[in-house]
Amino acid sequence: MGKAPCCEKHGVRRGAWTPQEDKTLVDYINNHGHGSWRTLPNRAGLLRCGKSCRLRWINYLRPDIKRGPFTNEEETTIIQFHAMLGNRWAAIASQLPGRTDNEIKNYWNTHLKKHLSGSDHTRSAKKPHASPDPKIIKSESPSTHHMVQWESARVEAEARLSMESPLLNSWSTSNKTYTDCYLQLWHSEVGDSFRTIKGKEEGVVCQGHVSQEASSSISSKLESCSVVQVKNTSTFAKMTQEEEGSYKPKLEDDDTGGALESGNYEFFDASESALKHLLDVPDGDIGFWDTLTVSSG
DNA sequence: AACTTTGTCAACCGCAGGCAG
DNA sequence: CCTGCCTGCGGTTGACAAAGT
């Protein structure tokens, strides 16, 4: 439906941009704004398609682009947000002012993925179509499912971060804790998108209940959780050896190493046990979890 | 020095969703 | 509601550079 071709193939330049083209584009946008990207090339006198112009501007010419190597803090942020969001580069980029999704994506693919793939434990995420248990998904309301998915990804991320010891040291040097990171994300537009899903789904209380009550609950719980996590880091690492039987299956389901290659997350049923390990609570005492999941209907 | 392999990153491609007519 | 257009996103490609043999 309605998919227009990007541009006419004839008479349109492709490949690397010349300094002259860059100047033309920058001058035009500075003077007139970009307006409709589709018509911009004609208006600016460029033999490029609008899409190409847009990409060039966003990824390279924009004045607020931060160039140069990624700092340790940026790298940490990327890793942490990727653990939570998967390959949602635009969302990750929104947390790193001056960095573009393309840049982050490249950096991940060329530097971080390689770095992290040294550990088998990095295989814990699932591909988007990795056939999650449909029964489990269907048992949740759509909005609850998103909440669970969100929380699930977070829990898994914490688990993974706990296990990726080579990177742990660098993370520990970061001023930002993982919880801070999560809370920041929770209150960002990304978190908003999860909270406002309710608005599109009938009869599900998510926005008010979860975003306010549970959110504060999440905040307080996460604060303690972060303490627990620190406390349990070694415990969790030990668990991966001692309890691989119960935890490993979801780590191994992707023998292509797809966790980091696809980086996408899907709901999986092991999160609860992981959460229990993280929170160090006895079976059945998962009120916090209930806070998130009972908020429907 | 020449050739091959590997790494990096800018740019392209195709899809999906939002929006307007 | 349907259709077409536009934009944004994520995956992939390909040119170039650096490193290795």
Pairwise CA distance, residues A141 & A182, whole Å: 23
Lowest mean pLDDT among A110-114, A117-121, A176-180, A278-282: A278-282
Q: Is the CB of A110 under 7 A from strand B?
A: yes
Name the closest nucleotide to A93, judged by C1' and CA. Answer: C9
How do residues A35-88 score in pLDDT, each as one tens digit?
888 889 888 988 898 889 999 999 889 888 888 888 888 888 998 888 888 888
Name the closest nucleotide to A128, judged by C1' and CA. Answer: C10
Q: Is the CB of A1 under 7 A from strand C?
A: yes
Confidence of residue A123 (pLDDT cuts 50, 70, 90): very low
Under 8 Å between Cβ of A195 and A210? yes
Mean pLDDT on A162-184: 49
C1' (B10) to CA (A126) span, angstroms: 29
Q: Is the CB of A113 under 7 A from strand C?
A: no
Confidence of residue A115 (pLDDT cuts 50, 70, 90): low
Mean pLDDT on A268-288: 36
Nucleotides of B under 7 A from a protein CB: 7-18
Q: Is the CB of A114 under 7 A from strand B?
A: yes
Angle, helices A178-186/A72-85, rounded to nearest 10 degrees:
60
pLDDT of A33 reads 87
Q: Is the pTM here over 0.75, yes or no? A: no
* Residue closest to sugar C1' of B13 by CA: A6
Residues 71-90 of A with CB under 7 A from strand C: 87-90
Q: Does residue A97 have a pLDDT over 60?
A: yes
* Residue closest to sugar C1' of B6 by CA: A110
* Residue closest to sugar C1' of B19 by CA: A2
Q: Does residue A241 have a pLDDT over 50?
A: no
Pairwise CA distance, residues A160 & A156, whole Å: 6
| A182-185 LR contacts (CB < 8 Å, sep 24+) | A182/A84, A182/A154, A182/A222, A183/A218, A183/A219, A183/A222, A184/A95, A185/A81, A185/A84, A185/A85, A185/A95
C1' (B14) to CA (A5) span, angstroms: 10
Nucleotides of C under 7 A from a protein CB: 3-12, 15-16
C1' (C5) to CA (A252) span, angstroms: 44
Q: Is the CB of A18 under 7 A from strand C?
A: no
Work out the widest C-alpha separation in chain A, in whole angstroms: 68
C1' (B2) to CA (A110) span, angstroms: 28
Lowest mean pLDDT among A28-37, A73-82, A91-100, A130-139: A130-139
* Nearest CA-CA partner of A239 in A158, A157, A159, A124: A159
Q: Could you count the other beta carbons within 10 Å of the beta carbon of residue A11?
A: 7
Q: Does residue A150 have a pLDDT over 60?
A: no
* Residue closest to sugar C1' of C9 by CA: A90
Under 8 Å between Cβ of A108 and A82? yes
C1' (C3) to CA (A6) span, angstroms: 18
